Amino acid sequence: MTLSGKLIENSVMIHENGVEELHRTSFYGRPRDNALELSLPESAFLIYVDKIKVELDGIELDFRQFFMKASSLVKNFELFYIVYKDLRERGYFIQPAAMGFRVYPRGGHPGKTPAQFFVFVTSERMPLALSDLKKHIDTVDNLKKRLVLAIVDEESDITFYEAKRTYPSGTCKIDLNISLSTTSFLEDRCMIWDSSTSNELHNGRFFGKPMDEGLLQLSLVESSYLMNKGIIEIENRHNEKLDFTKFSGIASRIESDFMTKYKVYEALRNRGLIPKTGFKFGTHFRVYRSFEKVSDIKHSDFLVHAIEHDHIFSLLQLSRAVRLANSVRKEMIYASAGSEVDFFVIGRMRL
């Protein structure tokens, strides 16, 4: 039996039989008084499967006409329809939400179980502001749900990602008891000449990279961190001491995002983690949760990329980073450096 409805503003209203036929058995729509309210993606899907017919100003709309009308009412309607249809055909029950959809767990439905996921729908071509992502994550966290990003590519395939806050921690604390050592600032790194300091820093806490026996190269962020800890002093080629302000200013001219990286590096070290360069993975850091000695070092645990608090994601770049991290069996974590450092893990998921 095909039910009749009317398009009213941004929804379709079905007469009272719709509640019994569509909602109580298949959980489409939301009962409103003696009628059933359907969202535009729900309505398009139900027209497509011949469950309903919809009129506008007394004229019945076929699927094409309804789709075009809905596209004029809701920006990027086609994306919402693509995702809705995909999830419905996978057997999920879905309800609309401000950011996209509420999705119920398998075996669950409205009235029986709470929603499990909130799905944010977007296109591969749309930039995603970190501020918006944070807002969505905070919303679902308050509701004790999980946030899913449904990214639709140009061929209408969907890739699902889960995004959530994370609070990484490790077991490596900085408790070095060594004398203040003088370090030379070269072109884009620093050199420790004292062999005992070099060995203690590298073998004891995995700082730097040995160049020759007794000599240790430090990266810019490592050098800044150790200077702030009072473990090293940094001098330029003219034996002039550099304080943090001078050194970070020079480092920022070498690396435009130096201060962002440094804030994240410091936060990771202070959490008992060991960050090392992630260049080979296309990220700022590869990170180890624990460390005993260099000879026993194993694979890093996850990757971290430092971003500004006003960062805007390119979804193509995000996809590339997550794919690479997954290919080496690591999590991809983004660290937002503002007044505090917040960590977000983004990974592919299957629904």
Instruction: State residue 333's pLDDT score.
Output: 98
Catalytic status, residue 261: no
Q: What is the mean pLDDT of each run of 10 residues along the chain (351 residues)?
A: 90 85 90 92 96 94 97 96 97 92 93 94 97 96 96 97 97 76 91 90 90 90 93 91 94 95 97 96 95 83 96 96 94 95 96 86
Asked if residue 300 lies in contact with residue 287, where contact means CB atoms within 8 angstroms, the answer is yes
Among 84, 161, 288, 334, the one annotated catalytic: 288
End-to-end CA, the chain: 31
pTM: 0.91
The answer as to whether 21 is a domain residue is yes
Element (H, E) at 135: helix 130-142
d(CA 229, CA 220): 14
Asked if residue 94 lies in contact with residue 103, where contact means CB atoms within 8 angstroms, the answer is yes
d(CA 229, CA 176): 10
The answer as to whether 19 is a domain residue is yes
Q: For the chain, what is the domain count?
A: 1
Which of 22, 123, 29 lies closest to 82, judged by CA?
A: 123
The answer as to whether 50 is a domain residue is yes
Catalytic status, residue 330: yes
d(CA 248, CA 258): 8
By residue range, what is the domain housing residue 16?
A: 1-74
The answer as to whether 12 is a domain residue is yes
Catalytic status, residue 6: no
The answer as to whether 37 is a domain residue is yes
Among 51, 136, 261, 330, the one annotated catalytic: 330
d(CA 182, CA 319): 43
Instruction: State residue 176's pLDDT score.
Output: 67
The answer as to whether 268 is a domain residue is no
Instruction: State residue 21's pLDDT score.
Output: 82
- Specify the amino acid at residue 236: N
The answer as to whether 185 is a domain residue is no
Instruction: State residue 46's pLDDT score.
Output: 96
Instruction: State residue 98's pLDDT score.
Output: 86
CATH number reported for the structural domain that contains residue 35 in this entry? 3.40.1170.20
The answer as to whether 4 is a domain residue is yes
